Amino acid sequence: MAILQPQIPLSLYPHHFHLLLHSPTAAPFLCTPFKTPRKPLNLTCSTKGQDDYLIDAPVSAGDGFSFSGGKYSDGPSPSDEWFKQGKIVKAHPVSGSGEKAKDPIFGLKMGAASQASNDLFRWFCVESGNADNPTVILIHGFPSQAYSYRKVLPTLSKNYHAIAFDWLGFGFSDKPQPRYGFDYTMDGIYRIILNSGRGEGLKIRSSAIVSCSNPMEFVASLESLINEIATEKVSLVVQGYFSPIAVKYASKLQGKLNDLILLNPPLTATHANLPSALSIFSNFLLGEIFCQDPLRASDKTLTSSGPYKMKEDDAMVYRRPYLTSGSAGFALNVISKAMKKDLKAYVEETRKTLLDENWKVKTTVCWGQRDRWLSYDGVEDFLKNSKHKLIELPMVETLLFSGKAQNSFLLGEEAAAYFRSRIDSSEAGHHVQEDCGEELGGIISGILGRRSRI
């Protein structure tokens, strides 16, 4: 994937949001209702006090650790425009003492942009569509951002309430340092109970943590976030190397889900090794250095995964976290090490779960055929054995025009007609939502719409 210089301004979508933050709580383990003040979303670097760390440091100001100094633009940035479309949701308790994070190399205190919340973590979420419609949660892969779904959201918003979020450690969400509240592990012992209630949009709901003996991991944090933003059953769309997290979450809470759609997930034994573009971040010392390089950490990881081309405006959004905060690079380093060590076990557990006869979640895999990171070999055979649905890109075009019966089952007649006129997915690679976002939105709508009619 090559970086193209911008020829047209970044497309802006008609979403209007405000910053939503919980009021501080005396202790995260008490059942205390949260009030949700609404504030206009402003980018500022000012603080009210020594302990007031903001997530919204401007693009032109780094945290003092990033090798690039945090500056690449004197004017408005595409990342600023994207930030204005979202809101901050607080979910999942910060473990430990909540002391200020220090960099893991020199032990120096990190700047404000590298500090996480001291009670509940802050997640950046973008929503689109009517909140009364069925909810679809879009989960980006590793390493990426919610921004990757920018072309999917408008299509889904016609019939669904679509929400995309940044994982902890990515984009505009908190990027806690390991041992400072979150260790980026895959599992743990947890139980979170939420008071139900229907609200409009992403409205924060009161919560109580019943037990949380090891909350330092992705699966528990995903449950916390979903409980905050959705009170009823949801459908999940998850991409790439974070798919095992969603599968594990779903295996524990199958009754919470309508559908699970996996985009190029690791499913075979050959998928158990990270590609060199990612594994390099786990190397001793060299990994720590490369993680702080915005071009290597964002551009190169995305451009090496598929054949598509990225505009410079889009590349600027992906670079932003590494330009403004050293913590983004440190999180990338830690996650890369965990993935490299445990990916084989994650893949084996995912396969076992999807083959289990007790697995009741309706599951579809969409696969970009030109994925340079994950081989397609063995994927089709596995899905035949597991009896889950498979949509191949660009093979979906052949399916649509072949007149096969499963065409209408997978996509529905409305979606099929849409694709006969719009499909252009010959360049679909690992990040399918980047390659053919509008088309993917139509596929997702077709899958979910067909399910509701069965």
Beta-carbon count within 10 A of 27 CB: 9
Over residues 252-285, the pLDDT tens digits come to 999 999 999 999 999 999 998 888 888 888 888 8
What is the rounded distance in angstroms from the CA atom of residue 205 to the CA atom of residue 199?
Answer: 9
User: Does 1 map to a domain?
Assistant: no
**Residue numbers of the domain that contains 314:** 13-453
> How do residues 273-330 score in pLDDT, each as one tens digit?
888 888 888 888 888 888 888 888 887 788 777 766 778 888 889 998 888 878 888 8
Q: What is the pLDDT of residues 397-436, one digit of tens each?
A: 444 444 443 444 445 554 544 444 344 445 788 888 888 8
Residue 453 pLDDT class (50, 70, 90 cuts)? very low
The identity of residue 161, as a single letter, is H
CA 132 to each of CA 135, 158, 196, 199, 288: distance values in angstroms, whole numbers, following the listed order: 8, 12, 15, 9, 45
For residue range 173-228, list pLDDT tens digits in order.
999 887 777 888 865 433 332 333 334 455 544 333 333 333 348 899 999 999 99
CA–CA separation, 324 vs 72, rounded Å?
A: 10
Proportion of the chain in helix, strand, coil states, percent, rounded to 5 = 35, 15, 45
**Higher local confidence (pLDDT), 95 or 176:** 176
Is residue 445 in some structural domain?
Answer: yes
Query: Can you tell me which residue has the tokens 């210089």?
Result: 5
Q: Check: CB of residue 107 under 8 Å from CB of residue 326.
A: no
Strand partners, 165: 125, 139
CA distance 104 to 108: 8
Is residue 183 a contact partner of residue 216, using CB atoms and an 8 Å limit? yes
Q: Give how many domains the chain has, as a whole number.
A: 1
Residue type, 46: S
Task: List phi, psi (to 5°) of 224.
Answer: -60, -45
> What whole-number percentage of the chain has pLDDT above 90?
35
Average pLDDT over residues 377-381: 91
Instruction: Tell whether 4 is covered by a domain.
Output: no
Residues 6+ apart with CB under 8 A from 207: 31, 34, 192, 193, 194, 195, 224, 227, 228
Q: Tell me if 305 sits within 8 A of 373, measured CB to CB.
A: yes
Cβ neighbour number for residue 376 with a 10 Å cutoff: 16
Backbone torsions φ then ψ of 146, nearest 5 degrees:
-60, -25
- Is residue 240 within 8 Å of 148, Cβ to Cβ? no
Mean predicted lDDT score pLDDT of the chain: 73
Residue 74 belongs to a domain = yes
Residue 8 within a domain: no
CA angle 140-145-146, nearest 5°?
Answer: 70
Torsion sign (Cα): 122, 224, 214, 285 = negative
Does residue 395 surpass a pLDDT of 70? no
Residue 3 lies in a domain: no
Q: What is the CATH number of the domain that holds 359?
A: 3.40.50.1820
Asked, for residue 315, whether it belongs to a domain, the answer is: yes
According to DSSP, residue 102 is labeled: B
For residues 28 and 120, what is the distance between their CA atoms, to the nearest angstrom?
8
For residues 357, 359, 363 and 365, what is the CA-based torsion angle, rounded to 10 degrees?
Answer: -70
Is residue 379 included in any domain, yes or no?
A: yes
Q: Tell me, what's the pLDDT at 440?
A: 92
